Structure formats: C-alpha cells, structure tokens
Amino acid sequence: LVHLLFGWRNPWPIAALILIAATSWPLRRTLTAGQLNCLLLLFYCIILWGLLKRRYWAAGLPVGLGTLVKLMPALFGLYFLLKRRWAAVVWSAAGFAVFLGISVAMFGWSVHAEYVPLMRQMGYGSSVWEDLLIQSNIPPFYRDPFNQSFNSLFHHLVAPDPIGQVKPWFYLEPQVGKRAANVLTIASVLTCFALAVWAIGFRRNPPETPNPGAPPFVESLEIALIVVLSLLVPSLLWDHYLILLLIPQSALLALYWSADRLPPLRTALFIVAGTVIAIPVAFQRPDYREGLGLLRMSVKLYGLLLIYGLLVYELRSIKPVSVANEAQCKAPDPVRFRG
C-alpha cells in the first residue's frame, strides 16, 4: 500500500498509515481469533497492484483464489465486468477453476459438496447451527452483537429475539419481523450497489499504459469502494473483518495528502470514521439491548458507511478521463475542494 499509493520519500503519510494499523482493534481481533483477514488483505493489495500495473493475471488470480477462501472477493469479478477488464475476468474465472480443481483433487468432492448446504444457511435472516445456538441461549450469527452488518442491525430493531436478550423497537410476529428485517437489508444493499454504479460505472477507463509519475487516485478509490461494498453486502460482518478497511483508508489518505490543502469537513469525517472503526466496543453491554442502545450495538457499521460515503463523493468529484488525456497518459485532477 505504501509503495503503490504514497511512495517512499515522504515519511508522514507512511507514519499515519502505520498509526492506523497499530491502533486498529480489528487487527488485534483478527490476530487473537486466528482469522484469515490478513490473507484477504494481501489478496486485495495484489489485486490493486495488478490493476495499477496492468498485470491482469495478478488482478484476476487472487480473486479466484480469494473467492474460495471467502465469498467477498467475488465482487471484484463484477467490477471487472463493469469496467470491461476482460483479461481480468478470464484470469479470475481460470484461477477459481484451477484452485477449486486442485482442492477437489486433494480432498475429494464430498467435502466440497457438504459446504453447499452451509452456504444456503448463511443468507439474510438465517444462520448455520441456528437451532443449536438458540437451544444454548446463544444468538444466531445473523443477529449476534458482534455482527455489524445491515441484517444484524435491522433484526435488532424490528425482529423479536429468539433468546429474549434484545428488546426490538417494534413488537412484530417472529416471521413478520424477520421478513421486515430482510427487506430493509435488501433495500440497503441495493442502495449501496446503486451508489457504486453511480460512482464508477460510467467512467471512462484509464489508459492501458498509465503515466508512472501520476498518482493512481481513480482506480485506487474504485478498488477501495469495492472492498467496502464487499463488507456491506453479506449477512455477516464480524468486527474483525474491518481490518480490510486499511485499503480504503489508505486510498483516501493518499488522496487528501496529495492536495494543496486538506478539506476540513471530509478530513474530520475521515478521522471520525477511523476512530469509530479502531476503538474496541463492548457490544454485549446490557444497555445496548434496548432503546437507543440498539443503534450503539452496530456502531462499527456507521464508520464503514462514512468511509463508503467519502469514497462515493470523491469518485463523483473526479472528472472522467478525456480522450486527450488518455492519449497523453495523464491522470485527471484528483479532487476539487468546494468551499
């Protein structure tokens, strides 16, 4: 990230990035829980490098392999289609097929077939081992306090708690409340998709031979937007997943650092979002189980949405690359501050 977005000459943005990582509670949670988020972060960095350097094999293969680890990287396949990066699409599909074939050859098809029913149980309003969790007086994963997703928030607000720990704002029948939470989730996710298409979908592609001296603002912001979207879409958003926000935070930091002056409001929102994401939160506090406390239980989601909003705004603020600029391999003006 430092090499791609900042270079090595100015130590201050590098120090800021190190500070973000060193104070990150999601990073600590990832390491103490033995999660694979740092591997996904590496995959995302390779994808970013591959796109910026026009090495589409390097952009596509991590998508194929990463999708076998977690489903979230699959969204990059949609991004490649949207941007008409056909070589990256082919490499993604080939990587997925090859790595899946290797896994099946090593461990057999039956192990992989058993995973399909589990995937069906990880949709909105459902959870693996749901009955067992409820019998053990443990909240199902889709409404677990540590789950910071849209689906978890809306289930806390409108759906009855099967173990009676959380008091929703509205008292609905269990199935009615669950359907309402899922409808609100789908509406929120579709809104995020629409914002992503609005921000990046109709922009002309940068030239195939980028200017090595031009900062890669547009594509780094687009990749950052897809990273955030991949966190917002699933029904599960455990707090340790948020270590992946190092890429969006780095992209925004690089953009703001390159400007003649920092935009006061957006810089303040960036700091607030980073602080909300970084600090530890006791999600299971008793006062978070009713009233306004239900909103505080999903506090990490708001930091994530702030980052998403900043990325959408900055991408919409960048003018599309003109044909003349493409011919000269020049990057567009990264940002225009208003007011």
Distance CA 322, CA 328 (A): 10
Residue percentage of the chain with pLDDT more than 70: 86
Average pLDDT of the residues in 121-127: 83
Q: What is the SS3 assignment for the chain? A: CHHHHHCCCCHHHHHHHHHHHHCCHHHHHHHHHCCCHHHHHHHHHHHHHHHHCCCHHHHHHHHHHHHHHCCHHHHHHHHHHHCCCHHHHHHHHHHHHHHHHHHHHHHCHHHHHCHHHHHHCCCCCCCCCHHHHHHCCCCCHHHCCCECCHHHHHHHHHCCCCCCCCCCCCCCCHHHHHHHHHHHHHHHHHHHHHHHHHHHCCCCCCCCCCCCCCCCHHHHHHHHHHHHHHHHCCCCCEHHHHHHHHHHHHHHHHHHHHCCCCCHHHHHHHHHHHHHHHCCCCCCCHHHCCCCHHHHCCHHHHHHHHHHHHHHHHHHHCCCCCHHHHHHCCCCCCCCCCC
Helix 217-232 to helix 299-317 angle, to the nearest 10 degrees?
150
Residue percentage of the chain with pLDDT more than 90: 52
Of residues 112 and 74, the one with the higher pLDDT is: 74
Dmax (CA) of the chain: 65
Please give the pLDDT value at position 8. Answer: 56
State CA 134 to chain mean position distance.
Answer: 29
Structure tokens belonging to residue 2: 């430092």
Indicate the pTM of the whole model. Answer: 0.87
Distance CA 65, CA 157 (A): 37
Please give the pLDDT value at position 201. Answer: 73
Q: Could you read off the pLDDT of 47-84 as tens digits, one per residue?
A: 998 988 889 999 999 999 999 888 899 999 999 999 98
- Whose tokens are 């195939």? That residue is 208
State CA 310 to chain mean position distance.
Answer: 14
Angle, CA 259 vertex, CA 255 and CA 262 arms, to 5°: 95
Q: Could you read off the pLDDT of 236-277 as tens digits, one per residue?
A: 999 999 999 999 998 898 888 877 677 889 999 999 999 999
Query: Is 90 exceeded by the pLDDT of residue 116?
Result: no
Of residues 216 and 155, the one with the higher pLDDT is: 155
Distance CA 5, CA 218 (A): 11
Please give the pLDDT value at position 329. Answer: 39
Query: Is 80 exceeded by the pLDDT of residue 304?
Result: yes
Average pLDDT of the residues in 322-327: 40
Please give the pLDDT value at position 207. Answer: 53
Residue 126, Cβ density class (10 Å: 0-12 exposed, 13-18 middle, ≥19 buried): middle
Q: Could you read off the pLDDT of 188-247 as tens digits, one per residue?
A: 999 999 999 999 875 555 555 444 444 457 888 999 999 999 999 999 999 999 999 999
Amino acid at 65: L
Please give the pLDDT value at position 229. Answer: 97
Distance CA 184, CA 245 (A): 24
Angle, CA 137 vertex, CA 131 and CA 139 arms, to 5°: 70
